[in-house]
Each structure stands twice: as C-alpha cells, then as structure tokens.
C-alpha cells in the first residue's frame, strides 16, 4: 500500500458546549490538519494522488470553516466542534471527493502543537 500525507491548516473560533472549563468560552485555533491518502498501486503517473488535487479538495472543505465561528457552521451547529469531530468531518468530506482506488487512511486534527485527534475507519 502506498500512502501520501498532506498537512494544511485553517483558522477559526469555537466554543465547546456544556464544557466545564476555559474551552466553554469563545477562543480561536490555527487548526493543523494532516490527511493520509492511500491506494494499493500507483496511477500511470506513479502517484497515489496529485498533491495539487489533494490541496484543492482540502481548500474546498476548509472554505466552510476558515475565519468563521465553527459553532455557526454545519455540522457544528448540532455537534460539538471538538478536535475529534473536526477530524471525522474532514475525513468524511475528503472520502466523498476522492476518486477510487485512492482512499482516506486517516485524518489528524491538531488544535495546538501538543493536542490532536485522529479519525480512521476500521
């Protein structure tokens, strides 16, 4: 299996609902998102996916969040905008966009240098 990794980022504010602590108050993060895309063999160019295409997909996905308050943007109007839920959302949105046999292996979202969450499907 071949795997490529791309890191990108967006900036937004959020607040965690029903949370007993500082994160209940509005604050911002520069979210770093790392995506891993895999396929069992390479395409005719010798690639898993063109990084340019992967960057374009992420840019489209982040356009709904960048410089917004996450709590105002679906699906985070309904679910808490935690790092875990952001990782899963990016995973699902990227999975919808990728042409088979390329597929998303995992997505890691970092809210700070030391704190991140990864989503992957078994």
Which residues are annotated as catalytic? 23, 67, 111
User: Which residue of this chain has its Cβ atom nearest to Zn ion in the complex?
Assistant: 23
Phi, psi angle pair for 96, to nearest 5°? -65, -30
Q: Which stretch binds Zn ion (CB under 5 A): 17-25, 36-44, 55-63, 91-99?
A: 17-25
Crossing angle of helices 51-62/83-97, nearest 10°?
Answer: 130
Q: Considering beta carbons, is residue 70 or 107 the nearer one to Zn ion? A: 70
The answer to whether the CB of 69 falls within 8 A of the CB of 12 is: yes
The answer to whether the CB of 104 falls within 8 A of the CB of 93 is: no
Q: Which stretch binds Zn ion (CB under 5 A): 20-28, 69-77, 84-92, 112-120?
A: 20-28
Q: Considering beta carbons, is residue 23 or 38 the nearer one to Zn ion? A: 23
Q: Considering beta carbons, is residue 49 or 83 the nearer one to Zn ion? A: 83
First to last CA, the chain: 16
Contact positions toward Zn ion, by CB under 5 A?
23
């Amino acid at each position: 299996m071949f795997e490529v990794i791309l890191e990108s980022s967006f900036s937004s504010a959020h607040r965690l609902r029903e949370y007993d602590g500082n994160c209940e108050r509005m604050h911002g993060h520069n979210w770093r998102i790392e995506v891993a895309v895999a396929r069992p063999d390479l395409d005719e160019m010798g690639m898993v996916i063109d990084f340019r295409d992967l960057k374009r997909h992420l840019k489209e996905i982040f356009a709904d969040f960048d410089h917004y308050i996450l709590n105002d943007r679906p699906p985070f109007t309904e679910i808490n905008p935690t790092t875990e839920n952001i990782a899963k959302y990016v995973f699902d949105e990227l999975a919808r966009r990728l042409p088979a046999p390329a597929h998303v292996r995992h997505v890691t979202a970092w809210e700070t240098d030391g704190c991140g969450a990864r989503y992957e499907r078994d």
